[in-house]
């Protein structure tokens, strides 16, 4: 059985199958691609590239730049491709959810509805913005590269994010309606003793 890894180095190897890149290029590629669903520390890119090079998984070639410092361009080796293949053969770990918003909603009876409404409204705004960005990425960056064998897989990942965010936005709409109803009920004045007796007649 292939050994499980932290996936940080495999992210770099995977991106290097697309094209040789510098450490800076890899950071930018992460930001506009897997960064939408995989949080990778930019500070670990260069140390991990150094480890990959030492292990023979990538090679580094110095590229001279006019008026700029030289830069290293990294390419994946056959050994690196084998490592990536072995990593892909390992079952992904189940995601352990930690959602502070849901945790606070769970205990929401102890908070004011207006506070919770603010949390959910801001979530809806953030996720709507991310959804727009994912749609832009698919439209402007993935679709024009449809002739690449990788593109269909990039589209699968982007589509997962889109559908997940759309579900989140439907949830925020339902939740806001419920919270507004709770807030309205709390604002209703309580009946006096006489009014309660009158209401029962």
CATH no. for residue 22? Answer: 1.10.10.10
Which phi and psi angles does 59 have, rounded to 5°?
-115, 155
Q: How would you write the pLDDT of the chain (201 residues) with one tens digit per residue? A: 444 457 899 999 999 999 999 999 999 999 888 988 888 888 899 999 999 999 999 999 998 888 888 899 999 999 999 999 999 999 998 887 889 999 999 999 999 999 999 999 999 999 999 999 999 999 999 999 999 999 999 999 999 999 999 999 999 999 999 999 999 887 776 555 555 555 555
State the total domains in the chain.
Answer: 2
The neighbouring-strand residues paired with 69 are: none
Kind plus residue range of the DSSP H or E element containing 200: helix 193-200
Which residues span the domain enclosing 48?
A: 8-88
Residues 50 and 117 in one domain: no
The neighbouring-strand residues paired with 68 are: 65
pTM, two decimals, is 0.75
Rounded Cα distance between 63 and 151, Å, is 28
Within a domain: 196: no
Residues 175 and 111 in one domain: yes
* 12 and 45 Cβ atoms separated by less than 8 Å: yes
Rounded Cα distance between 57 and 16, Å, is 11
Residues 130 and 169 in one domain: yes
Rounded Cα distance between 125 and 122, Å, is 5
């Amino acid at each position: 059985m292939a050994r499980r890894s932290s996936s940080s180095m495999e992210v770099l190897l995977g991106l290097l199958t697309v094209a040789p890149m510098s450490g800076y290029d890899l950071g930018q590629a992460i930001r506009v691609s897997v960064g939408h669903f995989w949080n990778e520390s930019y500070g670990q890119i260069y140390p991990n590239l150094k480890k990959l090079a030492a292990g023979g998984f990538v090679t580094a070639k110095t590229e001279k730049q006019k008026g700029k410092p030289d830069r290293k361009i990294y390419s994946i080796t056959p050994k690196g491709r084998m490592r990536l293949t072995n990593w892909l053969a390992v079952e992904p770990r189940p995601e352990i959810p930690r959602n502070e918003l849901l945790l606070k909603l769970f205990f929401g009876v102890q908070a004011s509805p207006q506070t919770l409404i603010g949390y959910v409204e801001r979530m809806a705004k953030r996720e709507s913005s991310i959804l727009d960005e994912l749609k832009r990425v698919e439209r402007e960056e993935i679709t024009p590269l449809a002739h690449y064998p990788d593109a269909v897989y990039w589209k699968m990942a982007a589509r997962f994010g889109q559908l997940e965010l759309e579900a989140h936005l439907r949830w925020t709409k339902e939740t806001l309606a419920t919270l507004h109803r709770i807030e309205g009920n709390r604002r209703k004045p309580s009946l006096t003793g006489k009014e309660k007796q009158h209401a029962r007649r």
